[in-house]
Chain A
Amino acid sequence: MRTPVGLGTSSGPEQEVQRPSGPSPRRPGARRAPLLGMRGRRALLPWVLLTPALTVIGLLLLFPLGRIVWLSFREYRLRNLVSGESEFVGLDNYLTLLTDPYLWQVAMLNTVVFAAVAVLTTIVVGTLVALLLSTLNPVLRIFVVSCIMVAWAMPAVSGTYVWLWIFDVDSGVVAQALGSMGLVDPSGYNWFADRLFFYAIVTLNVVHGGFPFVAVTVLAGLLTVPRELHEAARIDGAGAWKRFWHVTFPVLRPVFAVVTVLSTIWDFKVFAQIYLMPGGDVGGSQMLNLGVWSYVRSFGHNDYGLGSAIAVLLTLLLLVVTVFYLRALFREDGLR
């Protein structure tokens, strides 16, 4: 399997650190009997060097993760938060969660359908932009990349407020434009109350924030596709469409695997872009996804046990989706 240059480096931190551990600088002391043989040291050194990073990750990532799982098996409310004591309730929180129709009809549906649409749109838009970028000359390319980087650099909260302003029901740009064309009733239409429109706005927001990453990553991959392959295909009479699917895509499959998995993870866990929208923070509203529901349940309802159970469910869901994706994309005779 080919690995594009742009991506290869991220998979090999261990190779990187092994190189300086080579024997040359240590030679003079080698005569004393070392504690570990050369082989042992070579195996150990990367881990020693990784220890600080692993410690930080363990503290910042694994501890909260374990704590969430622990919480999800407990009855934990505001009172427990104050006293610090709580009661083990087994699978009660999970039973409550899985038998709640709200999970299936609203939260899960919103999460999965939105993520599917948003990931697909992000990848398609990102790839199209990458293809455009690859045809530009370097100066123009740097200019366009800088422009789309601005969208990427925009913090989610600020970005969301800008979209809210654009779609303001009474005086937003969109309402005024549609109103002046006579497409909406002069009294306005509250799109935030309509689940489909609500998520259409969220999708715009999330795709806008997510496509630059895809574009830049795919562009890095595109630049590694050997030109001869394209020339050969062109001589065989393949059009642009065929060249993309039969030359570019197979070479870039690992790149697409990475951007798809990353986008999926982000889009499953979208929070600010929903929570800050009107109706996005109301318990029982039709607009919540799993992440926001978990937060509202924990901090609105003060039911941290159930909130954690939702978070665990979301994590498991993500693991399953990711594993499935990676297997499908890396299978030797994988799907096109």
Chain B
Amino acid sequence: MARRRTHGYVLLPAAAAVLVLAATACGTGGGGGGDASDTDSLLVWIMQGTNPDETGFFEAANAAFTDETGVEVQVEFVPWQDAQNKISTAIAGGTVPDVVELGNTLTPGFADAGALHDLSGYGIETDRYIPGLMEMGQIEDGVYGVPWYASIRSIVYRSDLFEEHDLEVPRNWDELRETALALSEAEEDMIAFPVPGDAQYSIMPWIWGGGGEIAVQGSDGGWTSQMDTDEGRAGIEFFTDLALKDGTSTTGAVNWNEIDVMEAIADEEAAMAILGSANPKAILEANPDLEGRIDSFTLPGQDGGHMPSFAGGSLLSVFEGTGNEEAAWQYVQHLTGDEFSMRWAEETGFFPGAIEGVDEFSASADPILEPFAVQLGEASRGVPVTPAWTQVEAEKVLVGMQQDILNGEATVEEATESAADEIERILNGG
């Protein structure tokens, strides 16, 4: 009796795993050869987080795919935060989906482990795609993912408040700080500029903005982090000081992730925030009253210009060993093809993964997305290209650093130093 009772606590992850297994068991039938004609249904995992509602898009895309090939498609949505664990447990249970959307930072890790099907044999024109995304899907000659969409972060702000208080779009760090201070004074009940603790992609720009690098690879192949250099610290110090010294954030923001930040704007609690290009649409979906009252600007550079921002995005990958690789590849082509990648971009606000598509989409898109397009084209960066990076994210190294600083547990010097040590240890295979 004693043992049975404990299950409620102990086996939670196992229970989650069992659920995943049960939920996916039906999707990976077939087995054997990779001939598309053997496949009658595909299971697809799509990530879910700050994007607008996607069900309508997939109904249309899947119906078109079924008409074309006769293969039924079942789409399941997986929250971003759980993605890595869910995929790992699915691999362990041998119940992986046929197609999976992987964040570009996650792709190398799973590709390197041998979980993904090599697509290089299908004749992909790799130079069609945004290089920063494509390189995350390539290991040596193998291609393990096709760029589906790109996502970039800039600043979304309340244009009505800026107008009301005669504020201009800031062009450098000092102006950003002054604007934030003016906003927090003018709108006492609002959070002028949240400094989130649990949103690593909002932290990265500041590392690059001061001239640092998260990690650089030396000629001997070893990685060195520059986060604990003066350049690396400058931006982190500026960003966290907005919260700690200038009070433009709120204490609770230490625990916020990107979804919380987005909700703060949607609930009219925050006046400006670092957000992704898909967020304005989701914000308006949540709060239609904000229509015409939000706008965006690129992240300002330290002394003007643009500060580099993290170019995220997703690749579509095919799992190895499902027996449905051929049909899965057709589905990847279907979603990344012109028609549906453009439609996806229009419905979400993400940019298409193909270079041509970005230009076409930017020309016709909502003006609110213009600064995001500039950011993507002129000031975007990626994370270190190595399979081990997955682990840096899984261990939340940057989040731990940011939270230690914001909580006053460590100074910027101490926190950046231990984060740099940790990153070097992981990337160098420690």
Query: Residues of A with Cβ closer than 8 Å to B?
Result: 10, 61, 64, 77-79, 81-83, 156, 168-171, 187-190, 192-193, 261-262, 265-266, 269-272, 275, 278-279, 281-285, 291, 295-296, 299-302, 322
The stretch of B10-18, B34-42, B338-346 that contacts the partner chain: B10-18
C-alpha gap A99/B399 in the complex (Å): 26
C-alpha gap A169/B250 in the complex (Å): 9
Tell whether A187 pairs with B247 under 8 Å between CB atoms, given A272-B12, A302-B394.
yes
Report the 3 A-B pairs with minimum CB-CB distance, sorted nearest first.
A169-B252, A283-B395, A278-B255
C-alpha gap A83/B251 in the complex (Å): 46
Contact present for B396 and A271 (CB under 8 Å): no
Tell whether A266 pairs with B255 under 8 Å between CB atoms, given A193-B409, A284-B422, A301-B395.
no
Asked whether B113 is an interface residue with its Cβ less than 8 Å from the other chain, the reply is yes
**A and B contact pairs by CB, cutoff 8 A, 25 listed:** A78-B113, A81-B88, A82-B114, A82-B320, A169-B254, A169-B255, A170-B250, A170-B251, A187-B251, A188-B250, A188-B251, A188-B252, A190-B255, A190-B407, A193-B254, A193-B407, A193-B409, A269-B6, A275-B12, A283-B394, A283-B400, A284-B400, A299-B13, A299-B89, A302-B391
Contact present for A262 and B395 (CB under 8 Å): no
Residues of B within 8 A of A269 (CB): 6, 9-10
Contact present for A81 and B394 (CB under 8 Å): no
Contact of A299 among B8, B85, B250 (CB under 8 A): B85
Interface residues in B201-227 (C-beta closer than 8 Å to A): none
Tell whether A261 pairs with B2 under 8 Å between CB atoms, given A299-B13, A302-B394.
yes
Contact present for A285 and B400 (CB under 8 Å): yes
Contact present for A262 and B2 (CB under 8 Å): yes
Asked whether B84 is an interface residue with its Cβ less than 8 Å from the other chain, the reply is yes
Give the shortest distance, in Å, between A298 (CB) and chain B (any CB). 8
C-alpha gap A82/B400 in the complex (Å): 29
Residues of B within 8 A of A300 (CB): 84, 391, 394-396
Interface residues in B252-300 (C-beta closer than 8 Å to A): 252, 254-255
Give the shortest distance, in Å, between B109 (CB) and chain A (any CB). 7
Give the shortest distance, in Å, between A171 (CB) and chain B (any CB). 8
Give the shortest distance, in Å, between A74 (CB) and chain B (any CB). 14
Tell whether A271 pairs with B10 under 8 Å between CB atoms, given A81-B88, A193-B409, A301-B394.
yes
- Beyond the given A169-B252, A266-B5, could you list 12 further A-B residue pairs with CB under 8 A, ordered by the A residue number? A78-B88, A81-B88, A188-B252, A190-B252, A262-B5, A269-B6, A269-B9, A271-B12, A282-B396, A282-B399, A291-B10, A302-B390
Give the shortest distance, in Å, between A285 (CB) and chain B (any CB). 6
Give the shortest distance, in Å, between B406 (CB) and chain A (any CB). 8
Asked whether B198 is an interface residue with its Cβ less than 8 Å from the other chain, the reply is yes
